[in-house]
Amino acid sequence: MTEAGSKLFCNCKANYRGMEPNTNVCPVCIGLPGALPVVNRKSVELALAASLAFSCSTPEYIVFTRKHYFYPDLPKNYQISMYERAGGVPICRGGRVRYLDIHAWEWKECRLRRINIEEDPGKTVYGEGGILRSAEAYVDYNRSGVPLLEIITEPDLGSAREARQLVEYVLLVLEYLGVTNPRLEGAFRVDANVSVEGGERVEVKNIGSTLDVERAINYEIMRQSAILSSGGKVERETRHWDAERGSTRPLRQKEQEEDYLYFPDPDLPPIFLREMVDRARSLAALNDPSALFAQVVELGVSKEMAWSLVTTRPALELFLQSVKRGADPQLSARLIAVDYKGELREKNRDPYDPSSWPATEYVTELVRLVKEGVYTYDAVKGIVLPKLAENPMVDLKSVLPQRAENLDSIIDEVLKREERAVKDYLSGKAQAMNYLVGAVIKATGKKALDPRAIREAIEKRLGRGS
């Protein structure tokens, strides 16, 4: 077996990003004669966990097959993959994905046909004009041999939106399992088969984002419908998704399965899965986003906030740890999933990076201070969270709003001095209140006070508060 973090059949690094072209290669992954593949055990274990997470039927053993086709980025002229016939045994048959429709908050289901493990080909890099117009093409084999998990669904999806939601949920499950980081460049690709009644099936390739899944399918439905409505015929073909132009372009005629000449790879013996199943099943059970979502909702958190937590794992872990330490679930969820997460985005910090988030004790302390009425939530939101988002390691006491001991007397002095602003406010000029609040803060030496608390105190003195 090869090392964890390596390519599927050799010890070259699986994370090739940032490397000089054709430097992350060896005789195995560039297909030199006589070089023999050795299976990466970790890749098989993770694929098995994914299969169990999607309720698949897993076999007693798996058999790798050779899939033959000829393309510059495939150095051996065949890809080591899996197939359910011709002597091959994939790691999963059947199964289903239950995915969440966040517009209706309903769980929907899509059947799976199979899950394969295969090696990624290299990458063809085109010059100006891209794949359709460039006169130049270069091949980088750094990616050649990287483990790929191919998930093939049944035609159960009725709209582009459903397809996007399915892909987003599958990626979420795979992220929780540690199979992939979907935010890395090239971490996933989607091939969408689209057919309109009366026409042939068209495969759309090169879809590299969940947004483009929806865009590409909608475009292809529109294109095929227009052909059929004008009396034309939709041919079976493979098309390329051009994200920049928002359209598909012809790539090649669609191959038939028999064109690939599948047969079991004679260099790779069958791999028995029995000793891996229990560990994979435990991994799948502990990293189930649907179960975690239900757990958060049961704590009284709204579905919107619960989903915001679950889809950002560091946020979810911080929330669960805070609640475990006694923090109020609803306040914690609002602080973490809405306001702090919003501050991170405003400051262009990565919400998926654990280092972007404060310590658990910071969250529990802020929630306690709000619950006990020491600070209003608005004060924590407006004063503390922006500073924590800039530096989550800052001393919490240094960013808490200061409390002026003689605040009542300061307010009285300001109201006496600012008679005109008081009259303006009492006559209905609401903006005068902002002036008065600012005057109080200035009089305290511009300390980080709670503006809302000052506003309430002024309103009470002027007979407008409760």
Question: What pLDDT was estimated at residue 404?
Answer: 61
Residue 440's pLDDT is 84
Six-digit token string for 110: 């899509």
How confident is the model over 304-319, as a mean pLDDT? 97
| Together in a domain, 108 and 247 | yes
On whether both 394 and 413 belong to a single domain, the answer is: no
The answer to whether residue 445 scores a pLDDT higher than 80 is no
- Closest of 23, 100, 7, 94 to residue 56, by C-alpha: 94
| pLDDT of residue 1 exceeding 50 | no
pLDDT, position 214:
97
The model's pLDDT over 417-444, given as tens digits with 9 standing for 90+, comes to 988 888 888 888 888 888 988 888 788 7
- Statement to judge: residues 138 and 210 lie in one domain: yes
Assess whether pLDDT exceeds 90 at residue 38: yes
pLDDT at 384 over 80: yes
pLDDT over threshold 50, residue 377: yes
Percent of the chain with pLDDT over 70: 95
Question: What integer pLDDT is reported at residue 405 of this predicted model?
Answer: 64
Question: Domain containing 412 — which CATH number?
Answer: 1.10.10
Question: What rounded mean pLDDT belongs to the chain?
Answer: 90
Q: How large is the average pLDDT for residues 356-368?
A: 96
Q: Say if 242 falls within a structural domain.
A: yes
Same domain, 413 and 377: no
Any domain includes 36: no
- The answer to whether residue 214 is domain-embedded is yes
Q: Is residue 173 part of a domain?
A: yes
| 351 and 383 fall within a common domain | yes
pLDDT of 449 above 70: no
Domain-located, residue 64: no
Pairing of strands 237-242, 202-207: parallel
Average pLDDT over residues 155-161: 94
* Residue 190 contacts residue 160 (beta carbons within 8 Å): no
Determine, yes or no, domain membership for 70: no
User: Considering only 125-129, 201-205, 219-223, 396-400, which range has the smallest mean pLDDT?
Assistant: 125-129
What Cα–Cα distance (Å) separates residue 157 from each residue in 99, 112, 160, 224? 12, 12, 8, 17
Q: 153 and 252 share a domain?
A: yes
Last residue of a domain, one of 382, 399, 416: 399
227 plus 321 within the same structural domain: no
Residue 352, judged by CB atoms within 10 A of its CB (0-12, 13-18, 19+), counts as: middle
pTM of the model: 0.85
Same domain, 167 and 292: no
Q: Is 135 a residue whose pLDDT tops 60? A: yes
Q: 441: domain range?
A: 407-461
Does 203 lie in the same domain as 255?
Answer: yes
Average pLDDT over residues 97-113: 95
In whole angstroms, what is the distance from residue 379 CA to residue 396 CA? 14
What mean pLDDT comes out for the span 34-49? Answer: 94
Mean pLDDT confidence for 252-266: 78
Beta bridge partners of 89: 63
Q: Do both 255 and 107 map to the same domain?
A: yes
Domain endpoint, select from 399, 421, 442 = 399
Residue 453 pLDDT > 80: no
**Domain edge (last residue) among 362, 383, 399:** 399
- Domains: count for the chain: 3
Considering the domain architecture, whether residues 247 and 154 belong to the same structural domain is answered as: yes
Residue pair 184/235 in contact (Cβ under 8 Å)? The answer is: no
Do 354 and 412 belong together in one domain? no
Residue 49 domain-assigned (yes or no): no
- The torsion angles phi and psi of 242, rounded to 5 degrees, stand at -100, 95
Chain centroid to CA 312: 8
Q: How far is 288 from 45, CA to CA, in rounded Å?
A: 17
Tell me if 336 is assigned to some domain.
yes
